[in-house]
């Protein structure tokens, strides 16, 4: 019967290690120590040979001596990092070259071993390096999921969760810097009729294309979000009330061009948008009030015929 511990051991990741040392005794000793941990390991007796191996195969870890013929360990380290910065490097040094080892650490080496070393010291250094690799992978995974949790999967733009946080931070930043910004609340006109006429797949495609249009029109630092359903919200940092008309005209012109690529809702109606605008700090000083004022302006744009924009306080 296989124990739980054995099962866990069988599931562990096998890492690929390259040992670079011109001393055959050291090389063979390292091979033996690392093999005992259950990882794949190869040895190269020359840094140029090591670079050839690195170009041919993906290694997770390189353990290299500092003093070698033709190329020192620091130079090899820099070349390794240039080739693949994800490779972790442990350097081997003598008592007289600790300063060189520290130079290697500053250049990107993760750890160093001091000669003479024991089996346990080699294995501990390798285990520490592997743990570092695993923690980096975990951090990347968490960062990826965090990004995914802020992204609307249909349109590829930010979602409501991100919008709430971004609006809060924009108010803090603008308050400190005494600058302004504008909030656009955007609703797709007659979207339910569009969905009913052409189906949800076509509706989803239209929303995704709307998101793409917003990205193409807006600046790289504008915050474009899908607020919910067929409603979008855009934060324009640094924008003032004087810029509202030109920003709205640009958005509506490009949406008009997109509408020509989509089926008409009726013989005379194409897909259009209505926009409601509020500006910080002129119209409101809190996130809740800014959204409320933009919604009031949006309602006015819808009430007066749709396919238009209104700014709060100017109707």
- Among left, alpha and beta (phi > 0; psi -120 to 50; other), residue 108 is left
Whether residue 106 is found in the same domain as residue 214: no
Domain that holds residue 25: 4-145
Whether residue 175 is found in the same domain as residue 259: yes
The closest alpha carbon to 130, from 232, 32, 12, 43, belongs to 12
Whether residue 189 is found in the same domain as residue 284: yes
For the chain, residues with pLDDT lower than 70 are 1-11, 95-96, 146
Whether residue 134 is found in the same domain as residue 11: yes
Residue 128 contacts by C-beta under 8 Å, 6 or more apart in sequence? 110, 111
Whether residue 223 is found in the same domain as residue 84: no
In the prediction, which pLDDT does 132 show?
92
Q: Which of 145, 178, 200 is the C-terminal boundary of a domain?
A: 145
**152 assigned to some structural domain:** no
Whether residue 133 is found in the same domain as residue 270: no
**101 assigned to some structural domain:** yes
**150 assigned to some structural domain:** no
**154 assigned to some structural domain:** no
Whether residue 166 is found in the same domain as residue 121: no
Q: What is the pLDDT of residues 146-163, one digit of tens each?
A: 677 899 989 999 999 999
Whether residue 140 is found in the same domain as residue 166: no
Whether residue 169 is found in the same domain as residue 120: no
Q: What percent of the chain has pLDDT over 90?
A: 76
Whether residue 137 is found in the same domain as residue 187: no
Task: Show the tokens assigned to 288.
Answer: 């809740």
Whether residue 302 is found in the same domain as residue 217: yes
In the prediction, which pLDDT does 31 show?
93
Residue 56 contacts by C-beta under 8 Å, 6 or more apart in sequence? none
In the prediction, which pLDDT does 146 show?
67
Whether residue 141 is found in the same domain as residue 185: no
In the prediction, which pLDDT does 315 show?
81
**151 assigned to some structural domain:** no
Q: Which of 117, 145, 173 is the C-terminal boundary of a domain?
A: 145
CATH number at residue 267: 3.30.70.270
Q: What CA–CA distance (Å, rounded) separates 194 from 188?
A: 10
CATH number at residue 46: 3.40.50.2300
CB atoms within 10 A of CB 232: 26
Number of structural domains, the chain? 2
- The verdict on pTM exceeding 0.75 is no
């Amino acid at each position: 019967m296989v124990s739980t511990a054995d099962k866990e051991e069988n599931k562990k990741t096998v890492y690929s290690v390259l040992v670079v040392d011109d001393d055959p005794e050291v090389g063979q000793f390292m091979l033996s120590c690392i093999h005992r941990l259950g990882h794949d390991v190869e040895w190269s007796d020359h840094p140029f040979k090591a670079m050839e191996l690195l170009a041919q195969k993906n290694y997770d870890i390189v353990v290299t001596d500092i003093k070698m013929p033709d190329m020192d360990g620091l130079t090899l380290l820099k070349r390794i990092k240039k080739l693949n910065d994800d490779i972790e490097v442990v350097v081997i040094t003598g008592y007289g070259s600790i300063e060189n080892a520290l130079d290697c650490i500053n250049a990107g080496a993760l750890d160093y071993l001091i000669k003479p070393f024991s089996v346990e010291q080699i294995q501990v250094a390798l285990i520490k390096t592997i743990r570092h690799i695993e923690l980096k992978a975990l951090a990347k995974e968490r960062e990826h999921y965090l990004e995914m949790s802020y992204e609307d999967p249909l349109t590829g733009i930010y979602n409501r969760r991100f919008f709430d946080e971004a609006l809060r931070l924009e108010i803090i930043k603008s308050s400190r810097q005494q600058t302004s910004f504008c909030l656009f609340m955007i609703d797709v006109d007659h979207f339910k009729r569009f969905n009913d006429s052409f189906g949800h797949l076509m509706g989803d495609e239209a929303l995704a294309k709307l998101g793409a249009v917003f990205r193409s029109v807006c600046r790289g630092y504008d915050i474009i979000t899908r607020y919910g359903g067929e409603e979008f919200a855009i934060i324009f940092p640094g924008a003032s009330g004087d810029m509202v008309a030109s920003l709205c005209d640009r958005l509506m012109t490009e949406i008009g061009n997109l509408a020509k690529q989509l089926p008409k809702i009726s013989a005379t109606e194409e897909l259009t948008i209505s926009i409601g605008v509020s500006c910080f700090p002129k119209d409101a000083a809190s996130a809740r009030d800014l959204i409320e004022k933009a919604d009031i302006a949006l309602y006015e744009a819808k009430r007066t015929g749709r396919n238009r924009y209104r700014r709060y306080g100017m109707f």
